[in-house]
Chain A
């Protein structure tokens, strides 16, 4: 009888000691990211920064909060506009605080987890530390990182949001960057008409012009603007006439290698019809200017890419067809995705 009582007591003790700690809250809610079946493996290792509903919400708030800039006027979303696929519509060069202007155009933000290097010259090597550049650059948001971190720590709303996303502890730059990254990780564009055609979605087909344009694209553009990302991620001199006013050495600024003079990252062509102006310095406002450049406007410099060295001749019909094909790369679901849209920050 006594022995039975001991066994029962032991069993209870075991159950009691294995119970969940009631003092600990369940923690942030995991977020399942939808990835396209026909893309390569992402470059960014999401397991190092597990996505959560709270982390993404915090990243979105930070992205649209102008208080990340020195004078509280410029948010990330100020230059990265959703309707322009997170590029800066109609602005050739980036804008910053105090009416300052940068030397390059604002790149669109999407499919960043497949990107190896960032910026037009590839100077930034990791998605998480990419936000450091615009936040601290005097021509962009111009803020001192330490000042920003202490401002965030002094803000009750941010304190509670960071705690909800990352648990107890001070807000530090790693948490700031990882929250912004979680939001950026959700900015993916792979639901264009082109994608539907490729995935043989029922009832979707290219029109005659689109199909013709796709063939021109495959023959004349696809080796640099490689499918399905529409960039091979390389740095190339595409023969743009040198702009003395900007005097931008491009990739050479990063590598110190004269062989990289005037080379810039090959941009993706996804959503291109939504994100003019074009090129690293936004010199072309119309996509037909771009066609004309490749067809007739190549400037010969020592580092010119062999693929464009002799120009890429395009007939008027081919240009028109390309225009129709490139329009199929617009992803309305992405441009209008409510979970990426600007939020008004009032507290």
Chain B
């Protein structure tokens, strides 16, 4: 009988050493960049800002990071650090898969931009690799969001529009927190893939609360008051358009 005791003891030991894991699942966020009511098309489509100035968009990209999910009781679950660069020119970048603990959630919270810590932490990898051209070399810090294009109203050379929005310091910070509440709850567990479709409206950059006139503002490429205003505008660019809880 002795060996059996030994075996049983071993089994208990193994069981005790098993890591306690909360069941993980995935939530998927798909970002669809739009301009007003139309899907965003780079270079070829002409849009109009609230001031009635025509413009085209040649580049449109923004960082998303520091995701949290909000449970039904309004408590927040902070997800592991992850950084994403949504780039209109890169189809795959528009779909973000978040690993999340099993649960029922009602909202998603995230930063548009890169938190201040990662702006002062040296060489990074992945979406934060400076090779993506979203980092100022002469004045260290991430470009949180970038919109480039052309407008006849712009007084810059070649009528360019250059909006490189950044700044991580408290004063004139361009880091924006966004909370999007879903119309129905989303359940994360293994074997399911709840999905949020989110529109990001490029026109919102120039709309409210700080309407932008290209005739006077066509170039921003330093942190500061102007950049912070655009960031305060694009904070409002996101809208959940559909939810799939399957």
Contact = CB atoms under 8 A, between A and B. Distances in A.
Contact of A136 (B120, B137, B222): B137
Nearest to A6: B3
Given A145-B131, A174-B129, A256-B224, A126 B137 contact: no
A46 to B, nearest CB: 12
A136 B222 CA distance: 18
Interface string B125-146: 1000111010101111100000
- Tell me the interface secondary structure of chain A in the complex: helix
A126 B137 CA distance: 11
B124 interface: yes
Given A123-B140, A129-B122, A256-B224, A172 B129 contact: yes
A174 B120 CA distance: 14
A3 interface: yes
Contacts of A181: 122-123
A30 to B, nearest CB: 20
Interface in A105-120: 119
Contacts of A195: none
Contacts, number: 65
B122 A128 contact: yes
Contact of B124 (A3, A146, A174, A253): A174
B3 A3 contact: yes
A3 B130 CA distance: 62
Name the interface size band of chain B.
20 to 34
B121 interface: yes
A6 B6 CA distance: 13
B217 to A, nearest CB: 16
Interface string A202-236: 00000000000000000000000000000000000
A118 B73 CA distance: 47
Contact of A256 (B122, B124, B131, B222): B222
A185 B163 CA distance: 36
B138 A173 contact: no
A201 B118 CA distance: 44
Contacts of A298: none
Contact of A133 (B120, B123, B137): B137
Contacts of A178: 123
B165 to A, nearest CB: 15
Contacts of A127: 122
B224 A132 contact: no
Given A3-B3, A172-B125, A178-B123, A129 B130 contact: yes
A253 B138 CA distance: 10
Interface string A117-154: 00100011111110011001100000001100100000
A219 to B, nearest CB: 36
A53 to B, nearest CB: 20
Contacts of B124: 174
A146 to B, nearest CB: 5
**Top 5 A-B residue pairs of the complex, sorted by shortest distance between their CB atoms:** A128-B122, A177-B123, A174-B123, A125-B140, A126-B122
Given A123-B140, A127-B122, A174-B123, 19 more contacts: A3-B3, A48-B122, A49-B122, A123-B138, A124-B137, A125-B120, A125-B140, A126-B121, A126-B140, A129-B140, A132-B137, A133-B137, A136-B137, A137-B138, A172-B131, A173-B129, A173-B131, A253-B139, A256-B223
16 contacts: A48-B122, A49-B122, A123-B139, A124-B138, A125-B141, A126-B120, A129-B122, A129-B123, A145-B130, A146-B131, A173-B123, A173-B130, A174-B124, A181-B123, A254-B139, A256-B224
